[in-house]
Structure 1
Amino acid sequence: MTRVVLVEDHDMVAEAIGLALERAGIEVIARSVTVAAARADTRRGKPDVVLLDRRLPDGDGTALIPEFVGDGAKVLVLTGEAMASVAARVAEAGAAGLILKTARLDELVEAVRRVAAGEVVFEAKLLAGVLDRLTGRVKVAGATLTAREQETLLLLADGAGTDQISTSLGVARNTARNHVQRVLDKLGARSKLEAVSIARREGLLD
Protein backbone atom coordinates (compact mmCIF):
# COMPACT_ATOMS: atom_id res chain seq x y z
CA MET A 1 0.00 0.00 0.00
CA THR A 2 1.25 3.48 -0.88
CA ARG A 3 1.81 5.59 2.23
CA VAL A 4 1.28 9.35 2.08
CA VAL A 5 1.92 12.35 4.30
CA LEU A 6 -0.67 14.98 3.41
CA VAL A 7 0.54 18.54 3.98
CA GLU A 8 -2.48 20.85 3.74
CA ASP A 9 -3.61 23.49 6.24
CA HIS A 10 -7.20 23.89 5.02
CA ASP A 11 -9.41 21.44 6.90
CA MET A 12 -12.10 21.00 4.26
CA VAL A 13 -9.60 20.45 1.45
CA ALA A 14 -7.52 18.06 3.53
CA GLU A 15 -10.58 16.03 4.56
CA ALA A 16 -11.78 15.66 0.97
CA ILE A 17 -8.33 14.63 -0.27
CA GLY A 18 -7.80 12.25 2.63
CA LEU A 19 -11.10 10.48 2.02
CA ALA A 20 -10.41 10.17 -1.71
CA LEU A 21 -6.98 8.66 -1.08
CA GLU A 22 -8.22 6.23 1.56
CA ARG A 23 -11.07 5.06 -0.68
CA ALA A 24 -8.50 4.37 -3.39
CA GLY A 25 -6.46 2.19 -1.04
CA ILE A 26 -3.79 4.80 -0.35
CA GLU A 27 -2.90 5.19 3.32
CA VAL A 28 -2.63 8.70 4.74
CA ILE A 29 -0.21 8.16 7.62
CA ALA A 30 -0.20 11.79 8.77
CA ARG A 31 -1.71 15.15 7.98
CA SER A 32 0.52 18.18 8.57
CA VAL A 33 -0.55 21.81 8.66
CA THR A 34 2.81 23.59 9.00
CA VAL A 35 6.34 23.33 7.62
CA ALA A 36 7.61 22.21 11.01
CA ALA A 37 4.96 19.51 11.37
CA ALA A 38 5.54 18.29 7.80
CA ARG A 39 9.24 17.86 8.49
CA ALA A 40 8.59 15.94 11.71
CA ASP A 41 5.81 13.76 10.26
CA THR A 42 7.85 12.83 7.20
CA ARG A 43 10.97 11.96 9.16
CA ARG A 44 8.93 9.83 11.54
CA GLY A 45 6.58 8.18 9.05
CA LYS A 46 8.93 7.53 6.09
CA PRO A 47 6.14 7.90 3.49
CA ASP A 48 6.32 6.89 -0.15
CA VAL A 49 4.82 10.22 -1.22
CA VAL A 50 4.49 13.64 0.36
CA LEU A 51 1.49 15.51 -1.05
CA LEU A 52 2.67 19.04 -0.35
CA ASP A 53 0.76 22.31 -0.35
CA ARG A 54 3.10 25.20 -1.14
CA ARG A 55 1.56 27.90 1.04
CA LEU A 56 1.64 27.03 4.72
CA PRO A 57 1.15 29.24 7.79
CA ASP A 58 4.85 29.18 8.74
CA GLY A 59 6.47 29.25 5.30
CA ASP A 60 6.76 27.96 1.74
CA GLY A 61 6.52 24.19 1.50
CA THR A 62 8.81 24.25 -1.55
CA ALA A 63 11.80 24.67 0.77
CA LEU A 64 11.14 21.18 2.15
CA ILE A 65 11.34 19.37 -1.20
CA PRO A 66 15.11 18.65 -1.30
CA GLU A 67 14.99 17.40 2.28
CA PHE A 68 12.08 15.05 1.59
CA VAL A 69 13.64 13.75 -1.62
CA GLY A 70 16.92 13.19 0.21
CA ASP A 71 15.04 11.07 2.76
CA GLY A 72 13.66 8.87 -0.02
CA ALA A 73 10.15 10.28 -0.46
CA LYS A 74 8.56 11.33 -3.74
CA VAL A 75 7.03 14.81 -3.61
CA LEU A 76 3.84 15.85 -5.40
CA VAL A 77 3.14 19.56 -5.01
CA LEU A 78 -0.44 20.78 -4.69
CA THR A 79 -0.95 24.41 -5.67
CA GLY A 80 -3.48 26.88 -7.01
CA GLU A 81 -0.83 28.70 -9.06
CA ALA A 82 -0.97 27.64 -12.71
CA MET A 83 2.35 29.22 -13.63
CA ALA A 84 5.35 27.69 -15.39
CA SER A 85 7.67 29.58 -13.05
CA VAL A 86 6.15 27.80 -10.04
CA ALA A 87 6.27 24.43 -11.80
CA ALA A 88 9.91 24.98 -12.78
CA ARG A 89 10.81 25.95 -9.24
CA VAL A 90 9.38 22.79 -7.70
CA ALA A 91 10.85 20.63 -10.48
CA GLU A 92 14.28 22.16 -9.93
CA ALA A 93 13.94 21.44 -6.20
CA GLY A 94 13.41 17.76 -7.03
CA ALA A 95 9.63 17.30 -6.90
CA ALA A 96 8.25 14.44 -8.96
CA GLY A 97 5.20 16.41 -9.98
CA LEU A 98 2.76 19.23 -9.54
CA ILE A 99 -1.02 19.17 -9.63
CA LEU A 100 -3.37 22.12 -9.50
CA LYS A 101 -6.04 22.49 -6.85
CA THR A 102 -8.56 22.80 -9.68
CA ALA A 103 -7.98 19.14 -10.58
CA ARG A 104 -10.65 16.55 -9.83
CA LEU A 105 -10.08 14.26 -6.86
CA ASP A 106 -9.76 11.22 -9.12
CA GLU A 107 -7.04 13.04 -11.08
CA LEU A 108 -5.22 13.80 -7.85
CA VAL A 109 -5.43 10.16 -6.73
CA GLU A 110 -4.05 9.01 -10.08
CA ALA A 111 -1.21 11.55 -9.82
CA VAL A 112 -0.26 10.19 -6.39
CA ARG A 113 -0.23 6.64 -7.77
CA ARG A 114 1.93 7.62 -10.73
CA VAL A 115 4.40 9.56 -8.60
CA ALA A 116 4.65 6.61 -6.19
CA ALA A 117 5.45 4.39 -9.20
CA GLY A 118 8.35 6.64 -10.16
CA GLU A 119 6.73 8.73 -12.89
CA VAL A 120 6.96 12.48 -13.39
CA VAL A 121 3.56 14.18 -13.31
CA PHE A 122 3.03 17.79 -14.36
CA GLU A 123 -0.01 19.52 -15.83
CA ALA A 124 0.33 19.31 -19.61
CA LYS A 125 -0.10 23.07 -20.06
CA LEU A 126 2.80 23.71 -17.68
CA LEU A 127 5.21 21.03 -18.87
CA ALA A 128 6.57 22.91 -21.90
CA GLY A 129 7.28 25.95 -19.76
CA VAL A 130 9.03 23.82 -17.16
CA LEU A 131 11.34 22.29 -19.76
CA ASP A 132 12.09 25.68 -21.28
CA ARG A 133 13.02 27.18 -17.92
CA LEU A 134 15.17 24.24 -16.83
CA THR A 135 17.08 24.04 -20.11
CA GLY A 136 20.49 25.61 -19.82
CA ARG A 137 20.60 25.80 -16.03
CA VAL A 138 23.12 22.98 -15.74
CA LYS A 139 26.11 22.57 -18.05
CA VAL A 140 27.16 19.09 -19.09
CA ALA A 141 30.84 18.60 -19.85
CA GLY A 142 31.16 15.61 -22.16
CA ALA A 143 28.66 13.35 -20.46
CA THR A 144 28.97 9.84 -21.91
CA LEU A 145 26.13 7.39 -21.40
CA THR A 146 26.39 3.64 -21.82
CA ALA A 147 23.99 1.93 -24.22
CA ARG A 148 21.80 0.85 -21.30
CA GLU A 149 21.83 4.35 -19.81
CA GLN A 150 20.85 5.78 -23.20
CA GLU A 151 17.91 3.34 -23.32
CA THR A 152 16.94 4.46 -19.83
CA LEU A 153 17.12 8.11 -20.87
CA LEU A 154 14.86 7.48 -23.87
CA LEU A 155 12.32 5.79 -21.62
CA LEU A 156 12.46 8.72 -19.19
CA ALA A 157 11.81 11.07 -22.10
CA ASP A 158 8.68 9.05 -22.88
CA GLY A 159 7.49 9.58 -19.31
CA ALA A 160 8.21 6.06 -18.08
CA GLY A 161 8.39 5.37 -14.36
CA THR A 162 10.75 2.96 -12.60
CA ASP A 163 8.41 -0.03 -12.99
CA GLN A 164 7.97 0.63 -16.72
CA ILE A 165 11.73 0.99 -17.19
CA SER A 166 12.27 -2.27 -15.31
CA THR A 167 9.80 -4.10 -17.57
CA SER A 168 11.06 -2.52 -20.80
CA LEU A 169 14.70 -3.30 -20.05
CA GLY A 170 13.99 -6.71 -18.53
CA VAL A 171 15.84 -5.91 -15.31
CA ALA A 172 14.96 -5.82 -11.61
CA ARG A 173 13.35 -2.69 -10.20
CA ASN A 174 16.42 -1.83 -8.13
CA THR A 175 18.61 -2.20 -11.21
CA ALA A 176 16.31 0.13 -13.15
CA ARG A 177 16.47 2.64 -10.29
CA ASN A 178 20.28 2.46 -10.39
CA HIS A 179 20.29 3.11 -14.15
CA VAL A 180 18.11 6.18 -13.62
CA GLN A 181 20.34 7.49 -10.85
CA ARG A 182 23.47 7.08 -12.99
CA VAL A 183 21.80 9.03 -15.81
CA LEU A 184 20.93 11.83 -13.37
CA ASP A 185 24.46 11.84 -11.94
CA LYS A 186 26.14 11.99 -15.34
CA LEU A 187 23.89 14.80 -16.54
CA GLY A 188 24.19 16.74 -13.28
CA ALA A 189 20.41 16.67 -12.88
CA ARG A 190 18.44 16.74 -9.65
CA SER A 191 15.26 15.24 -11.09
CA LYS A 192 14.12 13.06 -13.97
CA LEU A 193 12.44 16.02 -15.61
CA GLU A 194 15.61 18.08 -15.46
CA ALA A 195 17.61 15.16 -16.88
CA VAL A 196 15.31 15.00 -19.91
CA SER A 197 15.54 18.78 -20.36
CA ILE A 198 19.35 18.70 -20.25
CA ALA A 199 19.46 15.72 -22.61
CA ARG A 200 17.34 17.57 -25.14
CA ARG A 201 19.59 20.58 -24.96
CA GLU A 202 22.71 18.44 -25.39
CA GLY A 203 21.24 16.53 -28.33
CA LEU A 204 21.27 13.22 -26.47
CA LEU A 205 17.72 12.42 -27.58
CA ASP A 206 18.26 13.09 -31.27
Structure 2
Amino acid sequence: MPPSPPAATPGAAIRILLVEDHDMVAEAIRMALDRATDLEVVGRSASIGAGLADAARLSPDVVLLDRRLPDGDGIGGIAGLKAAAPHCRVLVLAGEATASVATRVAEAGGAGLLLKTDNLTELQDAVRRVAAGEVAFSKGLLSDVLDRLTGRTPDRGATLTPRERETLDLLGEGLGSAEISRRLGVAVNTARNHIQRVLEKLGARTQLEAVTTARRDGLLR
Protein backbone atom coordinates (compact mmCIF):
# COMPACT_ATOMS: atom_id res chain seq x y z
CA MET A 1 0.00 0.00 0.00
CA PRO A 2 1.48 3.41 -0.94
CA PRO A 3 2.28 5.78 1.94
CA SER A 4 -0.36 8.30 2.94
CA PRO A 5 0.15 11.80 1.55
CA PRO A 6 1.60 14.29 4.03
CA ALA A 7 -0.82 16.43 5.96
CA ALA A 8 -1.08 20.16 5.32
CA THR A 9 1.74 22.24 6.82
CA PRO A 10 0.98 22.97 10.50
CA GLY A 11 0.02 26.60 11.08
CA ALA A 12 -0.70 27.29 7.41
CA ALA A 13 -4.20 27.63 6.02
CA ILE A 14 -5.51 24.49 4.33
CA ARG A 15 -5.57 25.18 0.59
CA ILE A 16 -8.79 23.98 -1.05
CA LEU A 17 -9.70 23.55 -4.69
CA LEU A 18 -13.47 23.48 -5.19
CA VAL A 19 -14.74 21.52 -8.22
CA GLU A 20 -18.43 22.43 -8.54
CA ASP A 21 -20.35 23.47 -11.67
CA HIS A 22 -23.28 25.30 -10.05
CA ASP A 23 -22.33 28.93 -9.40
CA MET A 24 -24.66 29.55 -6.45
CA VAL A 25 -23.66 26.31 -4.71
CA ALA A 26 -19.98 27.02 -5.30
CA GLU A 27 -20.28 30.54 -3.90
CA ALA A 28 -22.13 29.33 -0.79
CA ILE A 29 -19.48 26.68 -0.12
CA ARG A 30 -16.66 29.16 -0.72
CA MET A 31 -18.17 31.66 1.72
CA ALA A 32 -18.69 28.97 4.36
CA LEU A 33 -15.10 27.75 4.10
CA ASP A 34 -13.51 31.19 3.91
CA ARG A 35 -15.18 32.14 7.21
CA ALA A 36 -12.69 29.84 8.93
CA THR A 37 -9.26 31.41 9.28
CA ASP A 38 -7.50 28.07 8.78
CA LEU A 39 -9.27 27.29 5.47
CA GLU A 40 -8.62 28.98 2.12
CA VAL A 41 -10.36 28.30 -1.20
CA VAL A 42 -7.56 28.89 -3.72
CA GLY A 43 -9.52 28.02 -6.84
CA ARG A 44 -12.81 26.85 -8.29
CA SER A 45 -13.31 24.62 -11.34
CA ALA A 46 -16.57 23.79 -13.08
CA SER A 47 -15.66 20.39 -14.56
CA ILE A 48 -13.40 17.40 -14.04
CA GLY A 49 -11.17 18.49 -16.92
CA ALA A 50 -10.72 21.99 -15.53
CA GLY A 51 -10.19 20.53 -12.07
CA LEU A 52 -7.30 18.38 -13.31
CA ALA A 53 -5.57 21.42 -14.81
CA ASP A 54 -6.20 23.58 -11.72
CA ALA A 55 -5.03 20.83 -9.35
CA ALA A 56 -1.72 20.59 -11.22
CA ARG A 57 -1.34 24.37 -11.21
CA LEU A 58 -2.43 25.12 -7.63
CA SER A 59 -1.28 22.00 -5.70
CA PRO A 60 -4.13 22.19 -3.18
CA ASP A 61 -4.14 20.30 0.10
CA VAL A 62 -7.78 19.24 -0.38
CA VAL A 63 -9.94 18.96 -3.49
CA LEU A 64 -13.62 19.34 -2.67
CA LEU A 65 -15.21 17.46 -5.57
CA ASP A 66 -18.86 17.48 -6.62
CA ARG A 67 -20.03 14.04 -7.69
CA ARG A 68 -22.23 15.20 -10.60
CA LEU A 69 -20.28 17.28 -13.12
CA PRO A 70 -20.90 18.18 -16.77
CA ASP A 71 -18.13 15.90 -18.03
CA GLY A 72 -18.84 12.89 -15.85
CA ASP A 73 -19.10 11.30 -12.42
CA GLY A 74 -16.68 13.04 -10.07
CA ILE A 75 -15.69 9.72 -8.51
CA GLY A 76 -14.15 8.75 -11.84
CA GLY A 77 -11.93 11.83 -11.65
CA ILE A 78 -10.36 11.06 -8.26
CA ALA A 79 -7.39 9.11 -9.63
CA GLY A 80 -6.59 11.85 -12.15
CA LEU A 81 -6.76 14.57 -9.51
CA LYS A 82 -4.39 12.65 -7.24
CA ALA A 83 -2.01 12.15 -10.17
CA ALA A 84 -2.15 15.87 -11.00
CA ALA A 85 -1.53 16.89 -7.37
CA PRO A 86 0.00 13.86 -5.62
CA HIS A 87 -0.21 15.27 -2.10
CA CYS A 88 -3.86 16.35 -2.26
CA ARG A 89 -6.71 14.57 -0.51
CA VAL A 90 -10.06 14.34 -2.32
CA LEU A 91 -13.35 14.86 -0.48
CA VAL A 92 -16.47 14.15 -2.54
CA LEU A 93 -19.75 16.09 -2.17
CA ALA A 94 -23.00 14.41 -3.21
CA GLY A 95 -26.68 15.25 -3.14
CA GLU A 96 -27.38 11.70 -1.97
CA ALA A 97 -25.32 8.59 -1.51
CA THR A 98 -25.51 4.93 -0.55
CA ALA A 99 -22.91 2.65 0.99
CA SER A 100 -21.95 1.39 -2.47
CA VAL A 101 -21.28 4.94 -3.68
CA ALA A 102 -19.22 5.73 -0.58
CA THR A 103 -17.27 2.49 -1.09
CA ARG A 104 -16.52 3.51 -4.68
CA VAL A 105 -15.08 6.77 -3.34
CA ALA A 106 -12.82 4.88 -0.92
CA GLU A 107 -11.75 2.35 -3.57
CA ALA A 108 -10.90 5.18 -5.98
CA GLY A 109 -8.59 6.74 -3.42
CA GLY A 110 -10.95 9.40 -2.06
CA ALA A 111 -10.63 10.52 1.56
CA GLY A 112 -14.34 10.78 2.22
CA LEU A 113 -17.83 11.65 1.11
CA LEU A 114 -20.20 14.25 2.54
CA LEU A 115 -23.82 14.90 1.69
CA LYS A 116 -24.77 18.40 0.60
CA THR A 117 -27.44 18.31 3.30
CA ASP A 118 -24.75 18.11 6.01
CA ASN A 119 -24.30 21.40 7.83
CA LEU A 120 -21.45 23.80 7.09
CA THR A 121 -19.68 23.12 10.38
CA GLU A 122 -19.49 19.42 9.42
CA LEU A 123 -18.04 20.44 6.05
CA GLN A 124 -15.34 22.57 7.68
CA ASP A 125 -14.47 19.79 10.12
CA ALA A 126 -14.36 17.21 7.33
CA VAL A 127 -11.93 19.33 5.31
CA ARG A 128 -9.68 19.62 8.37
CA ARG A 129 -9.81 15.88 9.02
CA VAL A 130 -8.91 14.82 5.50
CA ALA A 131 -6.13 17.44 5.34
CA ALA A 132 -4.74 15.84 8.49
CA GLY A 133 -4.68 12.42 6.83
CA GLU A 134 -7.95 11.08 8.23
CA VAL A 135 -11.13 10.00 6.45
CA ALA A 136 -14.49 11.76 6.63
CA PHE A 137 -17.80 10.14 5.67
CA SER A 138 -21.30 11.37 6.44
CA LYS A 139 -22.95 9.76 9.45
CA GLY A 140 -24.10 6.22 8.79
CA LEU A 141 -21.82 5.64 5.80
CA LEU A 142 -18.44 4.86 7.35
CA SER A 143 -19.42 1.60 9.05
CA ASP A 144 -21.01 0.34 5.82
CA VAL A 145 -17.89 1.29 3.85
CA LEU A 146 -15.70 -0.61 6.32
CA ASP A 147 -18.01 -3.64 6.11
CA ARG A 148 -17.81 -3.68 2.34
CA LEU A 149 -14.05 -3.12 2.18
CA THR A 150 -13.42 -5.93 4.67
CA GLY A 151 -15.86 -8.30 2.99
CA ARG A 152 -18.56 -8.07 5.65
CA THR A 153 -21.26 -7.12 3.17
CA PRO A 154 -24.69 -6.50 4.75
CA ASP A 155 -27.93 -7.62 3.15
CA ARG A 156 -27.92 -5.74 -0.14
CA GLY A 157 -31.69 -5.67 -0.31
CA ALA A 158 -32.26 -4.37 3.20
CA THR A 159 -32.27 -0.70 2.18
CA LEU A 160 -34.49 -1.04 -0.90
CA THR A 161 -37.76 0.85 -0.56
CA PRO A 162 -41.02 -0.84 -1.62
CA ARG A 163 -40.99 1.13 -4.89
CA GLU A 164 -37.37 0.18 -5.54
CA ARG A 165 -38.25 -3.48 -4.96
CA GLU A 166 -41.04 -3.14 -7.54
CA THR A 167 -38.52 -1.59 -9.91
CA LEU A 168 -36.10 -4.45 -9.32
CA ASP A 169 -38.84 -7.01 -10.03
CA LEU A 170 -39.57 -5.28 -13.34
CA LEU A 171 -35.88 -5.19 -14.22
CA GLY A 172 -35.89 -8.92 -13.55
CA GLU A 173 -38.62 -9.26 -16.19
CA GLY A 174 -36.26 -7.62 -18.68
CA LEU A 175 -38.13 -4.32 -18.90
CA GLY A 176 -36.48 -1.01 -19.77
CA SER A 177 -37.09 2.42 -18.25
CA ALA A 178 -39.98 3.29 -20.61
CA GLU A 179 -41.84 0.06 -19.82
CA ILE A 180 -41.12 0.39 -16.12
CA SER A 181 -42.50 3.96 -16.11
CA ARG A 182 -45.75 2.69 -17.65
CA ARG A 183 -46.05 -0.24 -15.24
CA LEU A 184 -45.41 1.97 -12.21
CA GLY A 185 -47.47 4.88 -13.51
CA VAL A 186 -44.61 7.38 -13.17
CA ALA A 187 -42.63 9.62 -15.52
CA VAL A 188 -39.73 8.06 -17.41
CA ASN A 189 -37.22 10.24 -15.54
CA THR A 190 -38.69 9.05 -12.24
CA ALA A 191 -38.37 5.44 -13.37
CA ARG A 192 -34.75 6.09 -14.33
CA ASN A 193 -34.10 7.53 -10.88
CA HIS A 194 -35.60 4.41 -9.28
CA ILE A 195 -33.40 2.22 -11.47
CA GLN A 196 -30.28 4.22 -10.58
CA ARG A 197 -31.00 3.90 -6.87
CA VAL A 198 -31.51 0.13 -7.25
CA LEU A 199 -28.15 -0.14 -9.02
CA GLU A 200 -26.38 1.90 -6.35
CA LYS A 201 -27.90 -0.03 -3.46
CA LEU A 202 -26.97 -3.35 -5.05
CA GLY A 203 -23.47 -2.13 -5.86
CA ALA A 204 -24.10 -2.72 -9.58
CA ARG A 205 -22.89 -0.70 -12.55
CA THR A 206 -25.43 -2.01 -15.09
CA GLN A 207 -29.01 -3.27 -15.04
CA LEU A 208 -27.83 -6.74 -16.03
CA GLU A 209 -25.38 -6.81 -13.12
CA ALA A 210 -28.15 -5.64 -10.76
CA VAL A 211 -30.45 -8.46 -11.89
CA THR A 212 -27.64 -11.02 -11.65
CA THR A 213 -26.75 -9.85 -8.14
CA ALA A 214 -30.40 -9.83 -7.06
CA ARG A 215 -30.98 -13.38 -8.30
CA ARG A 216 -27.82 -14.61 -6.58
CA ASP A 217 -28.83 -12.97 -3.30
CA GLY A 218 -32.38 -14.30 -3.48
CA LEU A 219 -34.00 -10.89 -4.05
CA LEU A 220 -35.69 -12.08 -7.26
CA ARG A 221 -37.83 -15.14 -7.73
Task: Say yes or no: TM over 0.5.
Answer: yes
SS of structure 2 residue aligned to 1:124: coil
Deviation at 1:64, TM superposition (A): 1.7
Q: Distance in 2 between matches of 1:134 and 1:45?
A: 32
Shift of 1:82: 2.6
Amino acid of the structure 1 residue aligned with 2:79: P
Give structure 2 stretches of 5+ with no counterpart: 1-12, 153-221
Give CA deviations for 1:49-103 in whole Å, capped at 9, x if unaligned: 0000011011111112123334211011000123101100001111111110001
Q: How does 1:45-56 map to 2 (within 5 A)?
A: 45-56=58-69
1:22 counterpart letter in structure 2: D
TM-score normalized with structure 1 length: 0.64
Match of 1:113 in 2: 128
> What are the ranges of 5 or more consecutive residues in structure 1 without an aligned counterpart?
138-206
Match of 2:53 in 1: 40
Amino acid corresponding to residue 46 of structure 1 in structure 2: S
Partner of 1:7: 19
Per the alignment, residue 205 of structure 2 pairs with none
Question: Residue type of the partner of 1:15?
Answer: E
**Structure 2 partner of 1:100:** 115
Matched, 1:133 2:148: yes
Contact 1:3 1:49 in 2 (8 A): yes
After TM superposition, what 4+ stretches of structure 1 lie above 4 angstroms from structure 2?
Answer: none
CA RMSD, Structure 1 to Structure 2 (Å): 1.4
Which residue of structure 1 aligns with residue 88 of structure 2?
73
Structure with max Cα Rg = 2
CA displacement, residues 126-156 of structure 1 (integer Å, 9 cap, x when unaligned):
112111221249xxxxxxxxxxxxxxxxxxx
2:74 maps to what in 1?
A: 61
**Does the CA-based 8 Å contact 1:98-1:122 persist in structure 2?**
yes
> Equivalent residue for 2:42?
29
Distance (Å, rounded) in 2 between the aligned partners of 1:34 and 1:123: 24
Partners of 2:59 and 2:139 in 1: how far apart? 30
- Alpha-carbon offset, residue 39 of structure 1: 0.5
- Contact 1:53/1:61 (CA < 8 Å) preserved in 2? yes
Please name the residue that 2:10 is paired with: none
Contact 1:76 1:97 in 2 (8 A): yes
Mapped to 1, the partners of 2:120 and 2:25 lie a distance apart of 10
